[in-house]
Structure 1
Amino acid sequence: MAAIKLMDSRLDLFESIFKRAQRIRFEYSPPNLTSVLVLVPDQPDLTTTPIIEQTLGILNRPKASPIIAQSLPNTTDELSISNLVLDHAPDLIVLQRHLLQGEHAWNRGFGGVVQSLIQHHATPILVLPTPVNDARAPSTVRTIAGIVDQPLNNHDLVNWASTFCASGATLCLHHIEAEDQFERIMKAIERIPELNTETARTTLKSELMQEAQRFLDHCQLTLEQYRPDVTVQHSVEMAPVQHGYLTWITQTQPELIVLDMLDATKALNRGIADALAMQFTDLPFLLL
């Protein structure tokens, strides 16, 4: 009975894929960055100045008018930081990795402050590498890597990524279909003798890949219309998710990585983010 229920659930998923065969369209609606809150450690200006300069470089804004710099003493707790965000209501939060946690933790993910902000606020976060002076900090971001993990729900990701593209920049978008999930579905299908397994494998894989491809195709066409000064490249593959994205980022060599921290169910999705954060410690991340 349990096996029958498993097969039913897999077949329901199999069937739902084909019901979504209609063209997936990207809606261009870039965010309006009227207020940027930059959280900096309470240290001399000599230390905080590079943080502001790198923020302006990534934002492609020569003037500091939208920047609100807020110094934080080492004793500042996460609740106080959360209240600051509520008070300022910024469109974007900027901070260094492991803010207030010391340099000894700079290569261990994003840090507790970032995780707390993600869990309690919907505001996008630009996470700068630590220390800023030793990182790749170009005056203008030329290549942006956008991880399109949810083709049906990544309009915001593509809009934010394109907003950070200066004129002449390249926006690289990539989607990976999870190979392990696909194989689990196929194992359930193989237990049904009435189905041609090879036909099902070929058809299912093709439709999964085409679904993401259709969305990315429309992203490119739309951005060519609204942002003709930006080059858009996109790709789709089936692979182990974390390893696939790590390999793609290494090959792309971007100056900024953009990814969604919430999965399709709006639950915190730390797997990909943690893996990338550990591997690419010298790159800024835009977390949505």
Structure 2
Amino acid sequence: MDREITEKSQRYFMTSVSMITSNGSKGQNVMAAEWTMQISYEPMLIAVFIHESSSTLKNILETKQFGVNVASEDQTNSVNIAGGYSRKEIAKLDISNAFKLSKAKKLNIPLIRGCIINAECRLVLSKKIGDHVIIVGQVVYIRHDASKKPLVYHRGKYFRIGSPIDSFRQEVKINSDLFDLFSKCANGKFVFKCVGALIKSKNTLLVIRDTEPSLEIIPYFEPTRGHDYYDSLKRHLKKSGLLLSLKPKPFLKRLIFKNDQRIQRVNFILFHGAIKKIPSNFKWKLIKQNSLLRALI
């Protein structure tokens, strides 16, 4: 690969910045690390990538413990000092106007106050990968400060997190009967995921016939996690008495159902189909007369 292009492209990754603290026979130390991430929930594991000549790495390999201090947006000065100097040059944590320290709860390491996260870790793995060494620590104690916001690093500069970006969902107002049906199926899920078939004929869609017209909806079901949607839908339709040709290419509809003050998020994975003859438990329904049908096409 072209080295110049590679080096420029690398700057477009975005990361948080952590300050990795350690202790050892040559004293306490701190370094800045962009490549820091949680890699497991249970047990909780954090990975950090460190250059093999680092004084921090020597401390960690000696003591088998380290601290992960995720910098907040008002800690650029601390991060610059942690990343701009070597322990071989100066005892960075002794710089009086750079760091405010606190004692760890479980381990013999310093922690840095004012961070969004402080985690105490025991070393479980170290391995050289490329030009860095990955160290993985199991968290033995962790705390966070909800009043803080993380520092973001991108293209050699620091940034703050901006305002949230809404995840677009099409809003659909539906009747209370239909809302109750989907709410019951969702059973408290933040997003109810379902799979359905769209069989269209001119200005109508095929729906399941119901004694209550307000409950008539396209054939759909809640898929089993880890099972192929297309194959599962074909089996579901066959059990329902629908013999049709189903196109294998799906499309997604991300909807938010509303009924008065109630809302329910629903994701539809839909497959187009065609049918020659419909069984008695299905019917054609005008699309324009139903807000949900209009949203699905």
Question: Which TM bucket (shorter chain)?
Answer: under 0.3
Q: Return the structure number with greater strand share.
A: 2
TM-score (norm 1): 0.24
Q: Return the structure number with greater helix share.
A: 1
Q: Rg: which structure is higher?
A: 2
TM-score (norm 2): 0.23
